[in-house]
Amino acid sequence: PGVRFEAVAGRELEARGYGGIWGVGKAAEKPPALVVLSWEPEGAPETVCLVGKGIVYDTGGLAIKISGGMCGMKTDMGGAAGLLAAFESAVKLGAPQRLYAVLCIAENAIGPLAFRNDDILKCYSGKCVEINNTDAEGRLVLADGVAHASRHLRPDVILDMATLTGAQMVSTGRRHAAILANSDALEARTVAAGLRSGDLVHPLPYCPEFFLDEFKSKVADMKNSVKDRSNAQSSCAGHFIEAHLDKEYTGGWVHVDMAGPSAKDERATGYGVALVLALLQAPGFA
């Protein structure tokens, strides 16, 4: 009770300018969707928006995953799943914050309608993105998610979470998610929440002035994948998402790349639920 549900799905995504989610998901049998859940208690001390990558299956698209790399990609919705469960738990526990869950749901499928390398997608932020890797799709759906959140929901904090990069496991391993935050205070708050909850995190270098050059394009505002894979890939991917925040947004933003801790022994771990509850200091998690 008290939770509102909204969804923008299928061709409506295209019509309303959510070109990232629509582009990634338009080839699938089931249409893509942007789902927004809202919990708005009176007197809320803070507004927090949770934005999750919900790629329900990732073939890699036309840049297809090969050599067994596709197996296990049913877990590529781990970010959205974790944040959905965190939202539900926070509401049931009576968290005082105004909460929104923005779930970016699509299947990165192969077919005649699949988006292609060399396509240009116009995202909800207004930025045009040249596709140089259809298997770097999670950042495209999250770009639309954070743009929606920062433009329409007036949050104090945006947390996006995703099984975003294999490079995360090189950076921080299989037990610690990697985080990228636009303020020292939010970074420290997230690290502390990880230590309290057991959903561990470790910061990545935050340096958009160094890393955004990796996405330079001659025909669009940016490409969707880096030029140099040895140059802090996970930081770069987070900064790609950050670049789609509304230009008027002045609040906090933290990106959680949890590719490693999202699964163990071919089963999901539920990573992220406790992290968010600790971040919110929900009852029982303070």
Among the listed residues 16, 30, 65, 122, the single catalytic one is 65
Question: Tokens representing 23?
Answer: 């582009």
139 an active-site residue?
yes
Strand 201-203 vs strand 222-223: parallel, antiparallel, or unpaired? unpaired
Among the listed residues 26, 53, 98, 139, the single catalytic one is 139
Cα–Cα distances in angstroms (integers) from residue 216 to residues 64, 116, 142, in the given order: 23, 18, 19
Buried b (16+ CB within 10 A) or exposed e, 179-200: bbbbeeebbebbbebbebbebb
189 an active-site residue?
no
Closest listed residue to residue 114, CA positions, set 27, 7, 6 = 27
Number of C-beta neighbours around residue 209 at 10 A: 7
Closest listed residue to residue 165, CA positions, set 204, 111, 123, 213 = 204
Q: 224 exposed, middle or buried (CB, 10 Å; 0-12, 13-18, 19+)?
A: buried
**Which residues are tagged catalytic?**
65, 139
